[in-house]
Amino acid sequence: MIDFEGQVAIVTGAGRGLGRLYALDLARRGAAVVVNDLGGTMRGEGADATVADQVVDEITRAGGRALASHHSVASPEGGQAIVDAAVDSFGRLDAVVSNAGIFNAIPFQALSADDWRRMLQVHLDGGFYLSQPAYRVMAQQGGYGRFVFISSSAGNFGQPMEAHYAAAKTGLVGLSNVIAIEGAAHGILSNTVLPTGFSRMVTETVGDQNFLEKSGFMRAIRAELVVPLVTFLASRACPVTHCNYSACAGRYARVFVGLGAGWLADAATQPTAETIAEHFDDISATDMFIVPESIVDEVLEVCDRLGISAMPDNAEVAFPTPR
């Protein structure tokens, strides 16, 4: 059995929906859980402390350990306070599920700067404000840590009327990638999950009650089906880092950015826009690809094909490496 005995986890946005289910499963498996939720609306308005408190009550009544946190992730002070609550109350921190977020639908041409900034502030800034102090604690503990960032198919694949949400959620992939690279030296793993689950985000967005009740797809995307993947990635059993996974209606799959073989210009020539047009089919082909682990992989692959060294003359290291 995958258990979290002796471990401490933070789950943000844990008062309702998917976040609540993540927190309950981690607690059921032995984790002491900081249940963080400001208790606002889906659009990020207002606050209600009872939202997090009720989940804590649910966990403690079942014999688990939990603490409510009502801080917002959308400030450095809030992120630090959430991490401090875990360490002060339970003595350590082992896993973070960064799930807090807001949602609204706005056409791109009508999207205001305030709408844009607010969405990034909660999702992307909030992911950073929480993960940096958590990372520092994990690194100081030595040898272990797990981050699971909740991203979205809306960002990775696109969704109409969600430019702000898509940008914020895809930004978390970049954040996770770098935490994975730098965290390797400390035993810290970081991955993302792209969940599709029935929650208030779905009900408030769709709005059509008849469709919600009768759609086969809506019945298939039970929120509980997302939980096993998040729990696994947050656990000691997880062996991977720097990866993205989708959970949709019981189908679990890796989502990745691939780099095609493309077309390589002769080093003795100067390509033009016309040259690009001539070779554009090869440039756009996806039948041969690699999945880079970092920007270094792309550079090394190109250098290998060009027959040149990525190393500068009389230098031992071409690229900075995490310490």
| Candidate list 22, 129, 135, 165, residue with the active-site label | 165
**pTM of the entire predicted model:** 0.90
Long-range Cβ contact pairs of 49-58 (< 8 A, separation 24 or more): 51/15, 51/16, 52/14, 52/15, 54/15, 55/14, 55/15, 55/20, 55/23, 55/24, 58/24
pLDDT mean over 103-124: 97
For the chain, give every domain's residue range.
8-255, 259-306
57, 24 Cβ separation under 8 angstroms: no
For the domain spanning 8-255, the CATH number is 3.40.50.720
Judged by DSSP in three states, 10 sits in strand
Residue pLDDT, tens place only, 241-283: 999 999 988 889 999 999 999 999 998 999 999 999 999 999 9
Cβ 168 vs Cβ 123: under 8 Å: yes
Distance CA(60)–CA(248), nearest Å, equals 30
pLDDT band of residue 320 (cuts 50, 70, 90) is very low
What CA–CA distance (Å, rounded) separates 208 from 213? Answer: 9
To the query of whether residue 245 is one of the catalytic residues in this protein, the response is: no
For the record, the structure tokens of 225 come out as 């089906």
Q: For the segment 194-227, what is each residue's pLDDT rounded down to a tens digit?
A: 998 755 555 555 555 665 555 666 677 789 999 9
CB 110 within 8 A of CB 163: no
